Every structure is written in structure tokens, then in C-alpha cells.
Structure 1
Amino acid sequence: MVLEHPAYGRLRQVTPTAAVLLADNPGKMTLDGTNTWILRAPDSAECVVVDPGPRDKAHIGLIAESAPVAMTLITHRHFDHTGGLKRHRKLTDSPVRSADPKFLHKSTVPLRDGEIVEAAGLRIEVRVTPGHTGDSVSFVLDDAVLTGDTILGRGTTVIDTRDGTLADYLRSLDILAEVGEGRVLLPAHGPDRPDAAAVAREYLAHRKQRLEQVQAALDVLGADAKPMQVVRHVYADIDKKLWPAARSSVKAQLEYLRR
């Protein structure tokens, strides 16, 4: 029987080198939950873990049982990706690499753009893709791209305006549209998709459409309209529970347009 997303508590093989463990933390921001990716060459006894996920003993235990962990990589700082990191390190004693130095373990060097990480029989290219957060990175395999929250399996990405910007995000989508050609999309939330480049281009088109809608809203509301005023105008058709998240993206859009 071939497993399909979502498959909680079971290791689901997606490509010859990538399998996923879906954490049982569904929500309006996490969709079906956080995808923890388990990467390894077919002949490797070890694996690379991407995003251990939330603070969930059962989930972290399943990761540790999957294979000896040669390396752990973090796509970005958010708690649904890093909350289980302390226990994961305790169970696996794995080195941890990330763009944010505070998550480093058995390493003092943050991830750099273009760096090649070699582990578990794989060569993994690091691409710095900020926008969702300032520390967001993506990982390129021969046949797939792991995009963290920069591109999701469904829906759209929120820009965390504490350090994320729309200008950075659009540049990151351009990068993923280029490197994603002919590669499977392996996102941190939602189902995998067969063509990462196509999804990146869809995201770019969506962002352009939203910018046009926000500009049209400013033409009606006035150039100094507040983010929530614009949300009520542009996002009237979505669940109001999602408006706080939409406000963050609108704030980023307003900063982009006003700059």
C-alpha cells in the first residue's frame, strides 16, 4: 500500500532519497502539520534530518528510530520546526546546522548560500531564501528542493515582518523558480508537489496579484491606510481567523509599495 499525505506517525517515502514524517500538529498556520524530512542515499545507513519539528516526544522518538542521524538541518527558526530540537539532539547526538547561529550544535559555522553539505551519501546545496523569515534557507537535492515555509504544499506563505520582507521573498521565489526546474517540491507544510519551479511561478503570480489588489485598496482607502484596513478590504473572502496572519503579509506589502 502506497502512503499518501497526510500520514501521521509513519515514514512515507516520496523520492528515492527523501521520506517524510508528518508531525501531529495541524493548525491554521501549520496546515496538516510540520513535515520532518528524512534524507539519505539508497545505500546509506545514516540519514539527514531536516526540521525535527515541534516539541512532541512521540514524533521526535520516531525520527530517532528511523536511522542514525549524520546531520540535522534547519530551514528557519519558527517553533513548529525547532521546538523538538533539544530532545532530538539528546536522542541522536546529531550535529545541527542552520543559518541562525543559536541553533548550531557541534558546529560554529552558520549555513552559507551555495554551500554543499555532504552527509548520508548525499550532496545537498544550500540556498539562502529569506522573506518568510530573515533566516530562511532551502536545500537542493538532485531530484528535489526542500523549501521550508518559503513555498508550501498548498496555500500561501505569511511574511514574518519581524525580519522578513517582501522584496527578499520575491527574490527567493525567483531563485526557487530557477533551481526547482525538474525537481520535486518538498515543503515543510502540506503535500509534496511534482514541479517546484511551477509552484514558485504560481507564487510569484499570486504575489503580483495581491500587490495590485493592495494598491487598488490604497486608491480607495487612502495612501496612509493601516494594514488591518487593507486586510478587511482585500481579504474579505477568507476566514476572519486568518486575518491576523494576513495582516503580517499586508504590512510587508505596504512597506514594499511605500518604499
Structure 2
Amino acid sequence: MTPAQPPAPSAAFGDWHGGQVTDRALCILCPNPSPMTLDGTNTWVLLEPGSTAAVVIDPGPLDEGHLQAVVAAVAARGAHVAQTILTHGHADHAEGADRFAELTGAATRAVGRGHADLADGDVVTAGGLELRVVATPGHTSDSLSFALPADHALLTGDTVLGRGTTVVAHPDGELAAYLASLERIAHLTGDGEVTAILPGHGPVVPDAAAMVAFYRTHRAERLEQVRRALVDGAGTAPDVVQAVVERVYADVPREVWPAAAMSVAAQLDYLQQGG
């Protein structure tokens, strides 16, 4: 089997610095690069042209300099933060939310976790801006994406990244849910509602359909590799997860093996459930 190849990225690693990427979407890149966060966390400032009410998605970690930079970017556009939204609760996206609320006075919205809850299909509005909530669990149980119809874009958090693939963060993350979420996003791209992806990490994806197709093929290939590894002896190893990681994820840097182990655990659970 020839491995699936991702679409050509819009920027090489280290070349992504954020900025204004659509008429309504500005990315402020947090200076927290790592093998897991790629260039850093993308904090998105969404503002309808001519409006003064901004929506901020994922303020990021508790990095005072970054949070202040986001506030300054909003102010420089003559606007204020009307709402803050979290794609999910991981620290690199959400840890700074409480401090950001102190700085802006804006409510924070997410799925649970003590915030004003959002649900699939909800419409978030601010100063003429319209966002539609798309539930995309799988990376985590609380993962949300947000359709920005006016720009034909989808803000995906960690569900689809701008470069590489994401982790299914077992046990909270679950592979069956993740595959269903990818299918849902594929429908949005097929309908033409979404042509670009604005991810939580990495550069903007200008061809959303191609990236989602790659993600779906990649997941199927990894699952088949896990099945083969189990047959080839990993299934009888003292530590099955580690044995599978060593066989299936030998092509990725060792520093991301702990994340790969979460995905393997999710894959094994999926297979045990008859997936």
C-alpha cells in the first residue's frame, strides 16, 4: 500500500507567523512551538469588516505576553472582545482563558468545563459576524469546530491541523467519534460550504477537501498497520501499546511517541469494539 501524501502545505515549518488570512480572520501566533504544537497555538480574532465586536477563539496558554498581544491586536482595529470561545479544553488552547476574561471582561464559551455551554448547530453572532458551531468530537470529547460561512472557512482547533496529523487523545478522545467528525467535515467541503481550514496549529489549509481526504486515508492506513502489528506479535507483548507504537510509528520522532501511544490506545479500543 502506498502511504497517503498530505496536500502541499501553505508554509514550511517555522515559516508560519499568522496574520490576516481572510477578510474576517486574523491569527495571532503564540510563541509556544513544540513537536506537539507545531509553530505554536493559533489564536483567532474574528471581526466583521466595519464592526467593533470581535470574537476570539482559543486565547492559548497562560502566557501574559501573548494574551496582551491579542488584546492589543483587537484594540488596534478599534474593536473590543465580545466573546471568547474554546475549541476544546487542552491547556495550549484554553489555559489562558480565565486571565483573558480578566483582561477583556468577555464571557468564555465552550463545551462544559464551567463555561457558558455551546452545542452543535448553535449560531454565535457579534457585530454582524456569524459563526456556526459544528461538534467534532474525537481528538477530545469536547472538541468543537466553527464554520465561518462568509469566508467559506472552518476553524478546526486540533481536529484538523495545518501540517501533519493530530492525536486521538485517548481515553477522553475516541476514534469512532473522530472518524465520524472527519466524515462530517468532508460533507461540508463537498457541499462547498467550507473551502479553507483555519487550524489550531500550523498554517491555513487552502484546500480543505484535499486535507480532509488525506486525514481519512491516513487514519485507515494507520488502523491497518495496527492490525498487522498485532498479528505480527505486538498483540502478545507485555506492553501492547508500546509494542505497536514501536512498529507503526517508527517513522515519527520519538518525542511524539507519547502522543502516538494515546492514538494507539484509541485504535486498539476501536478494534476491540469491532471497528
**TM-score normalised per structure 2:** 0.87
Question: Which 5+ residue runs of structure 2 have no aligned equivalent?
Answer: 1-10, 75-79
Question: Aligned equivalents of 1:25 and 1:223: distance in 2?
Answer: 37
Mapping 1:205-224, distance limit 5 Å = 205-221=217-233, 223-224=235-236
Question: Which 5+ residue runs of structure 1 have no aligned equivalent?
Answer: none
Question: Aligned equivalents of 1:27 and 1:15: distance in 2?
Answer: 26
Aligned counterpart in structure 1 of residue 258 of structure 2, from 236, 239, 244: 244
**Hey, what does 2:16 align to over in structure 1?**
6
**Counterpart residue type for residue 24 of structure 2:** T
CA drift at 1:222: 5.4
Contact kept, 8 Å, 1:178 with 1:197, in 2: the verdict is no
1:17-60 per-residue CA deviation (whole Å, 9 max, x = no partner) reads 11100000001110110000000111111210000001111110
**Hey, what does 1:200 align to over in structure 2?**
212
Question: SS state of the match for residue 59, structure 2?
Answer: coil
**Hey, what does 2:25 align to over in structure 1?**
18
Aligned counterpart in structure 2 of residue 71 of structure 1, from 83, 90, 100: 83
1:193-249 per-residue CA deviation (whole Å, 9 max, x = no partner) reads 112222111100000000111111111115455111011111122222221111110
Mapping 1:59-208, distance limit 5 Å = 59-67=66-74, 68-102=80-114, 104=115, 107=116, 110-142=117-149, 143-180=152-189, 181=192, 182-208=194-220
Q: Report which stretch shifted further, 200-209 or 172-181.
A: 172-181
Question: Aligned equivalents of 1:43 and 1:195: distance in 2?
Answer: 28
**Hey, what does 1:229 align to over in structure 2?**
243
Question: Aligned equivalents of 1:23 and 1:101: distance in 2?
Answer: 23
Question: Aligned equivalents of 1:186 and 1:149: distance in 2?
Answer: 10
Contact kept, 8 Å, 1:144 with 1:184, in 2: the verdict is yes
Question: Aligned equivalents of 2:207 and 2:48: distance in 1?
Answer: 21
Tell me the number of residue pairs that the alignment of Structure 1 and Structure 2 aligns. 248
Contact kept, 8 Å, 2:97 with 2:108, in 1: the verdict is no
- With a CA cutoff of 8 Å and minimum separation of 6, indicate the structure with the bigger relative contact order: 2
Contact kept, 8 Å, 2:139 with 2:169, in 1: the verdict is yes
Q: Report which stretch shifted further, 147-156 or 216-225.
A: 216-225
Tell me the percent identity: 48
Instruction: Give me the CA root mean square deviation.
Output: 1.4
Question: SS state of the match for residue 16, structure 2?
Answer: coil
**Counterpart residue type for residue 35 of structure 1:** N
1:105-156 per-residue CA deviation (whole Å, 9 max, x = no partner) reads xx4xx11101111113211000110000000000001121000000000111
Question: SS state of the match for residue 87, structure 2?
Answer: coil
